[in-house]
Each structure stands twice: as structure tokens, then as C-alpha cells.
């Protein structure tokens, strides 16, 4: 694989990981605010 394709693949993977992390934070925050969670994690409100 060429360096250009390898860099593009790594960039796509990084963007996907960031999107998944953001979705997880939104999901946990919504569940926490709705009071509908058994998750042991809690995100402090700013």
C-alpha cells in the first residue's frame, strides 16, 4: 500500500473513533439527565 492510502486509512479510522466517542458521551449524558441509567459512569455538568 502506498503512503497516501495508508494515511487516508488512518485518518478515516481516527475520525470514526472520534465520532464514536462523541456519540458515547451524548448517550451517557442523555441517559444521566433522563434518570434512565444503570451505568456507573457519571458526567459532571459544566
Residue by residue, DSSP assigns 1-18 as --HHHHHHHHHHHHHHHH
What's residue 46's pLDDT?
54
What's residue 16's pLDDT?
95
The residue assigned the cell 492510502 is: 5
Q: Per-residue pLDDT tens for 6-38?
A: 889 999 999 999 999 999 999 888 877 887 666
What's residue 6's pLDDT?
83
What's residue 31's pLDDT?
79
Sequence length of the chain is: 46
pTM over 0.85: no
What's residue 38's pLDDT?
63
Q: Which residues contact 39 (CB under 8 A, 6 or more apart)?
A: 28, 31, 32
Amino acid at each position: 500500500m502506498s503512503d497516501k492510502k495508508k494515511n487516508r486509512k488512518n485518518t478515516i479510522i481516527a475520525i470514526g473513533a472520534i465520532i464514536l466517542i462523541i456519540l458515547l458521551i451524548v448517550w451517557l449524558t442523555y441517559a444521566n439527565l433522563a434518570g434512565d441509567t444503570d451505568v456507573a459512569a457519571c458526567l459532571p455538568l459544566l
